[in-house]
Amino acid sequence: MQPRVMEMMSSIQGEGLVVGERQVFIRLAGCNLRCAYCDTPGSFDYQEPCRVEVVPGRGEFDLYPNPVAVNTLVELVKTFRPQLHHSVSLTGGEPLLFTDFISELAPLLRELGLKIYLETNGTLPEALDRVGNLVDIISMDIKLPSTTGYFDKWNDHHRFLLTAEKFTVDKYVKIVVAQSSTPDELRQASQLVASVNPGIPVVLQPVTPPRDKSIHPPGAEQLLGFHQLCREFLQQVRVLPQTHKMLGVL
């Protein structure tokens, strides 16, 4: 299935282990989850044209009718000067809903010398199995019940990590934490990662409050406690906020 592309731009990665690197972002519409803190709820039922930023950082966009052909996307990526970029971020929404699209697009982007950075909610292991050999970096979420409202994703996350370990790719786990998050949740998430590979890096990301302000970031003592707890099971744990929100970039 050909996805609808919400937007394309050249910007700074604001999360995770490649924070601060410049990427071409291709944001796909559609997701299998509805997380309470989601910062792109417009992706759920997106029907608009694709926005493509004209000059990076200016916030001015040209519009392209959806769905956008893969060859058109590749030509648009070329206009952003691939040599300036660390990688292409396939984000969403949930990109793994569109494995046929990734299978067609990723090899063409690699021909431009670009790595493929997959940002995923980590709940679709069978989909990852189909395209894991086509990506270079996996940014996988573990969804805590306290921040997402989902209580049944632990098994999906475990199977996803097991699948990711089959591929020779860089990978890390991102866990969005809030004031409402509990030590039991962090312990379960840490043990889940450690059961697959305790060397997988984990990033604790304080929640950026959503528009309704119903979710609050953890305080300093709570955040340090989460870090200490995770380090009991894992070799690499970092605390990183969404830096692009601070920089004022998209």
Q: What is the pLDDT of residues 124-176, one digit of tens each?
A: 999 999 999 999 999 999 999 998 888 889 999 999 999 999 999 999 999 99
| C-alpha–C-alpha distance, residues 202 and 204, integer Å | 7
Quick check: 21 and 87 in contact, CB under 8 A? Answer: yes
- Give CA angle at 145 (144, 149), nearest 5°: 125
pTM, whole model, 2 decimals?
0.94
C-alpha triplet 92, 178, 141: angle, nearest 5°? 35
Q: Top-level CATH class of 5-247?
A: alpha beta
How do strand 50-53 and strand 61-64 relate by DSSP bridges? antiparallel
Per-residue pLDDT tens for 94-129? 999 999 999 999 999 999 999 999 999 999 999 999
Map out the domains of the chain as residue ranges. Answer: 5-247
pLDDT tens readout for residues 168-227: 999 999 999 999 999 999 999 999 999 999 999 999 999 987 655 778 999 999 999 999
